[in-house]
Structure 1
Amino acid sequence: MMSDMTQTSQPPLPVAPGWRIDEHARAAAIAEHDIESLRDDAALRRITDFAAALCEVPVGLVSIVEAERQTFLSRTGLDLTETPREMSFCAYAMREDDIMVIPDATQDPRFADNPLVIDGLGIRFYAGVPLVRDDGIPLGSLCVIDTVPRAGLTALQRQGLKVLAEDVLRRLGDSRSAAASRAAIGDSEGRFRTLADTMPQMVWSTQPDGFHDYYNARWYEFTGVPAGSTDGEGWAGMFHPDDQDRAWAVWQHSLATGEPYQIEYRLRRHDGQYRWTLGRALPIFDDTGAIVRWFGTCTDIHEAKLASEEREVVAQELSHRIKNIFAVISGLIGFSARANPGFATVADDLRARVIALGRAHDFVRPHSAQSRPVADQTSLQGLLAELFEPYQSRTASRITISGDDVAIDDRSATPIALLFHELATNATKYGALYNDDGAILVHSRRVGDRIVIEWRERGGPMVQAPAKTGFGSQLIELSAVRQLAGTVAQRWERSGLEVEITLPESSLSRN
């Protein structure tokens, strides 16, 4: 839920050209409605819930704009019950002849400095339908809000919001009579069914305990089953036998926890073909936090699923060929070393670096379920464990990895592999891995938006700083500083080499 915020003054709202509604008449019109009795009205709440779901935004509101404030009769995804009028987007929307859409409020001079934009709520996208009575008096707006910019609304979303706004006006107009209120609720539900039947997705709804009691026309058109035959638990029989237990378990988890329901499964179409479908559902809560309804959709994703599987096969084949290229290069280096014995030492170092790059590539490349590494492929510690595996002893761990794990990707895996392979190789030649008693601790920790990785060698022969910078040191500098935009500090202590590598976390993963 969006939280409350400090109220600050805004410049008076300008009067739109041609808009000349008497504020006294408008105040009298608002007074005709029992505003307090309509706060958190169940019918209005269903409207704002559905408006937010229809437009795929976190917030839906019914706002009545009064002389000095705007009051939210119904609110979905927001804790505020009112704001000063000078902060109101709806005060502008209610003057329009059509839906007012603000793709990015920070770019709109009317709202860029609005506290609802720059402070707590962080409004970016806004769309509001004017709530105007039959006598031409504007009352406020039915609006939807998002905290990220959006391009606008689809034609279906615009149509849906207008239908829902009509229901809001009907609810406001009928609030003076209990009988009229019941009629408005029934009409609202009828309009909801009409709107749901026009949606391309299969729409369904359940009671709080998960009992399915509504499907739209698209469901029956897709499945071909008789109306009502999938009520209750009958829906589960529409899934592929191999998916039924999994889908049921996920649904039961959502019912027990209130967490959103999302799953991919194969749904039987009317011609008997099972097609991949994305199932989603969200709970609707009352003011006490209890679930009063579940609304869900089923979307046919069969072609997209097959295309994704084909892309994965191609990616795996490409990665396999790249892996083979590393092996070929390593073989060519070995062949050249045999033909040129004087090149052997350099060739061994070069081949080891190529092998390290190959191990890094193999760790982050696309994998099948059978070939995927045990460690998370986005794990820094998982990659380091893979790189250090050839240096570990069968009886004890020579290199210990600890601390905070962080996310990496294919872009950062290569310089990381070169950097730590070089450190491990030097430790084998001159440092803690030179004898059987030495050990290395690699510890990573977050410091703000940076990652600090410490390399500490202990138990090896005494080492001293080299007289001149060699290729290995240059390679470490190239990997950490130039490619990962970090820093490297080396300390040649009597107990062993200590290296502190500081990297921006953003350079390790695109996310």
Structure 2
Amino acid sequence: MLNETLLPWPQGKAPDPEQTVEAKRKAVLELYGLDALEDDPELVQITHFTARLCGAPICLVSLVEEERQRFLAREGLEENETPRPTSFCAHAMLLSDVMVVPDAREDERFETNPLVTGHPHIRFYAGAPLISHEGAPLGSLCVIDTEPRPQGLTDLQKEGLLVMAASVMRRLRHRREALAQQAELKRSEKQLQTLADSIPDIAWSARPDGSFDYFNQRWYDFIGLSDKTRHVPRHDLFHPDDKHAWLDKWEEARREAQPYETEYRLKRADGEYRWMLVRGVPVYNSAGHAERWFGTLTDIDASKRESDQRDLLARELSHRIKNIFAVISGLIALRTRGRDDLGDFAGELTGTIKSLGRAHDYVNPVAGRKGDSLRELLTDLLAPYESAGEPAIVFASEEDLPIGPEAATPLALIFHELATNSAKYGALSNEGGKVTLDVRGAEDDDVEGMTIGREDAVVLRWSEPGIAPGGAEDNPREGFGSRLLRTSVEGQLRGRMTRIFDENGLDVKLVLPAASIAPK
């Protein structure tokens, strides 16, 4: 859509006096990039037609510059410029209508002009002003004859000359708009390049065939190149153990035209291999095919090493905890050896410790068990609290809840904390005590204030009877354990937890997004 400020200058209106100031006029002329318009095919066609329309041997598209008038297109004249002081068009461009000179020898403005007294011996001249959209006079579209014309132009010829002058300005305007758009595009590209170079990650793009055609400055800093034209074989930068896995994943992502994410090691300029997280997304064309790829490389080496250290520590800690269970079981066996009266008790206690070991597997963040359903997970977690062979948990309905591996650990932490507290202070601290778990769909009031609808949520309700209510400051459940519960519920599972103490006991309600716990 043409910008309103670029609408043509009204025909029949003289140039804006402010725009006739030479400095302003020169600045406007420079916006058209006139060098590229010399002998422009469209302008040549206009001069050829206008000459025939007016029956004139010469027709010019003349732009008046500071010291010369240059002819972007010409018919019937070899020269492509003449000095400005001899210019007829410098006069015509300042008018509101066609300037007609029937016989230049009889016009005091031009009678001594070298172009009249000498080559090309101008006698008749008619020029339509060329005025920019802001009102700056640029030159004229003119026809010239070597014979005088006392009758001037016919009405049709004059109208045609004005129409063709408007066509010249339309061509000039399109050229100016194209240059402005190119300049804006270059500015945008420069801004985008500056933005891309300012981000801490490596940014890249690739063609549909998988060849990379752009990296931001971070890439060249990483590989130690100051010359962006130099080519560095990409495969030489990969750690030998990662190269084939990366290529397989990249080829699969391209083949499926799906977002791409993986980790691998790349060699930095100093020779050190660094762990990188690479992400890429395809840009689709109208046919649904990936026509470009854009992505980032993020140096995660420090966090990767920290994660590895944490995993190592977690594995060691888990191993030691499991050893403690084994040591306790061994001590029980040792202390009750030969004590037939304690045999049954020792066996029961050893079984309970083994059950605690199984429950511990669920909260091991590195290599723990990941149950497939909530019922399976809770049955294992609460097995240590069985009394006389009776399970410690009662399921209020037959409904089960499939859980994904990502949800198993936070759910295990939540219910492990609830069960531990119950064994200390609640229902499971009593012989034969039980807790009840109800799994149901959510109602409108359950999800009030949340960003999900009731159809996208599930409610888990943990109930314990016979717990005396107490103040939060005196109740051991309101300390670190409560914060752990809320972190798991609200942070990891993006849900909500409410706890109610009353004369009926403890009621814990978890409202969780189905997407947070469902198998992926």
Shorter chain as denominator, the TM-score bin is: 0.3 to 0.5
Superposition TM-score, scaled by structure 1 size: 0.43
Structure number with bigger Rg: 2
